[in-house]
Amino acid sequence: MRPTGKLHLGNLVGALQNWIKLQDQYESFHFVADWHMLTTGYDNTVDLHQDTWEMVADWLACGLDPKKATFFVQSRLPEHAELHLLFSMITPLGWLERVPTYKEQLANIKDHDINTYGFLGYPLLQAADILMYKANAVPVGEDQVPHVELTREVARRFNLLFGKVHGAGMAKLEGKTFQEQSAQGKAEMIHRGLASVDGIFPEPESLLTSAPRLPGIDGRKMSKSYGNAIFLTDPPDVVSKKLATMVTDPARKRRTDPGNPDICPVFDLHKIFSSQETIDRVNRECRTAEIGCLDCKKLAAGHLNAFLASIQERRKPYEQNPRKVWDVLEEGTAKARAVAQTTMAEVRAAVRLT
Ligand code: SF4
């Protein structure tokens, strides 16, 4: 996760709740992607340090557990940069240029220049982040699936170039070593069933996360950059005020007009944070105009504030002793470093950089 500071409900519902579930099912690694932050935000690093702290404090407050999962800071592990560099040697430019998010963001981000080498290469840096831990699975939303696909292609290419080939086809190489065969030659032999490759990297799968729709107070997707977010740290009065300005069913102009909760962003919040009883009541009484939007929003604020209270309570010890967050990161970074160093020793040996 890029260190963007305090997290909002969209981050919680879209990613964090899923990570918290996965930490009981997998050996998990989560990192502060500060180098990734630089690929688009290189011109403003003033808040990077504080934003890292705020984000990781929110991870902890929400229930991501450093005893179950490893948290680390990307830039503290130069091994990631080294693997990224080695991958950049073998990755055709076209693979990066056709990544959909690259084209989209290049077209959409106009307020600063991201026509840079670092921005083009960021999916490859992600490939290094993933493959460093020989990940079998990466939890992603649909927009990130092409990045995992690129990671699989990079792993395959690296394995073909530098993995050990063995099998019946060995005799056909006329005295040459497998390292001297082109990747294409190896691919053909594997395709014909004459050889198999014993590669360093597994090909990871996307673990698709189906997150419920979570609109911001203006009805668009909740995002810090749209200024429409409700933060996990917002106190009750701020949450109530934000909800009071939230857009509703646009066709419901007067209190006496019946509404349609199916198209109302406030109802989307109810569905996630309110009790079943409240959801059923709003669903019924909105359609008959028995409940007004103001009362409906008050109900939503009540449930949401009760939900946030427990997160804010768990955050307090970190706010009282900020060092605790850095300690968690320090410990996790040491654990991640041990894995990264082992992988890089294998990688250097395979590429013959020893
Ligand atoms: S009553 Fe609630 S669900 Fe219905 S339109 Fe108003 S805010 Fe939306």
pTM score of the predicted model = 0.90
**pLDDT, mean of residues 244-253:** 93
Nearest atom, ligand 1, residue 249 CA: 5
For residue range 107-126, what is the model confidence (pLDDT) as tens digits? 877 777 888 999 999 999 99
Q: What is the rounded distance in angstroms from the CA atom of residue 21 to the CA atom of residue 161? A: 37
- Which of 296, 298, 304 is the pocket-test mutation for ligand 1 (most atoms within 8 Å of CB)? 296
For residue range 16-31, what is the model confidence (pLDDT) as tens digits? 999 999 999 999 999 9
pLDDT greater than 90 at residue 328: yes
Q: Judging by DSSP bridges, how do beta strands 164-166 and 196-198 pair with one another?
A: antiparallel
pLDDT greater than 70 at residue 180: no
pLDDT given for residue 112 in this prediction: 79
Distance 239 CA to ligand 1 centre (A): 17
Q: Where are the domains of the chain?
A: 9-163+199-211+322-351, 234-319
Distance 75 CA to ligand 1 centre (A): 46
Distance 258 CA to ligand 1 centre (A): 9
Lowest mean pLDDT among 64-78, 83-97, 132-146, 173-187: 173-187
The whole-angstrom distance between residue 140's C-alpha and the CA centroid of its chain comes to 6
41: confidence class by pLDDT, cuts 50, 70, 90: confident
Distance 300 CA to ligand 1 centre (A): 10
pLDDT greater than 70 at residue 170: no
- Which of 252, 269, 284, 295 is the pocket-test mutation for ligand 1 (most atoms within 8 Å of CB)? 252
| In the chain, alpha helices (H) | 9-11, 17-22, 34-41, 48-62, 78-90, 93-97, 100-108, 117-120, 122-131, 145-162, 183-191, 236-244, 265-273, 276-287, 293-320, 323-351
Atom 4 of ligand 1, nearest CA residue: 286
Does the C-beta of 265 come closer than 6 Å to ligand 1?
no
pLDDT greater than 60 at residue 171: no
Distance 311 CA to ligand 1 centre (A): 27
Atom 1 of ligand 1, nearest CA residue: 293
- Which of 262, 266, 294 is the pocket-test mutation for ligand 1 (most atoms within 8 Å of CB)? 266
Atom 7 of ligand 1, nearest CA residue: 293
294: its two tokens: 């103001």
Q: Judging by DSSP bridges, how do beta strands 69-73 and 137-140 pair with one another?
A: unpaired
Distance 16 CA to ligand 1 centre (A): 28
Does the C-beta of 247 come closer than 6 Å to ligand 1?
no
Distance 261 CA to ligand 1 centre (A): 6
Distance 291 CA to ligand 1 centre (A): 8
Whole-number percent of the chain with pLDDT over 90: 74
At the fourth CATH level, the homologous superfamily of domain 9-163+199-211+322-351 is HUPs (3.40.50.620)
Distance 277 CA to ligand 1 centre (A): 15
Q: Which residues contact 12 (CB under 8 A, 6 or more apart)?
A: 62, 232
Nearest atom, ligand 1, residue 270 CA: 3
pLDDT greater than 70 at residue 173: no
One of 1.10.3260.10, 3.40.720.10, 3.50.30.50, 1.10.240.10 is the CATH number of 234-319, namely 1.10.240.10
Q: What is the rounded distance in angstroms from the CA atom of residue 236 to the CA atom of residue 205? A: 40
pLDDT greater than 80 at residue 234: yes
pLDDT greater than 90 at residue 195: no
pLDDT greater than 90 at residue 182: no
pLDDT greater than 90 at residue 54: yes
Topology agreement, domain 9-163+199-211+322-351 and domain 234-319: no
pLDDT greater than 70 at residue 174: no
73: confidence class by pLDDT, cuts 50, 70, 90: very high
For residue range 205-220, what is the model confidence (pLDDT) as tens digits? 999 877 777 899 999 9
| Most confident of the ranges 161-170, 204-213, 247-256, 317-326 | 317-326
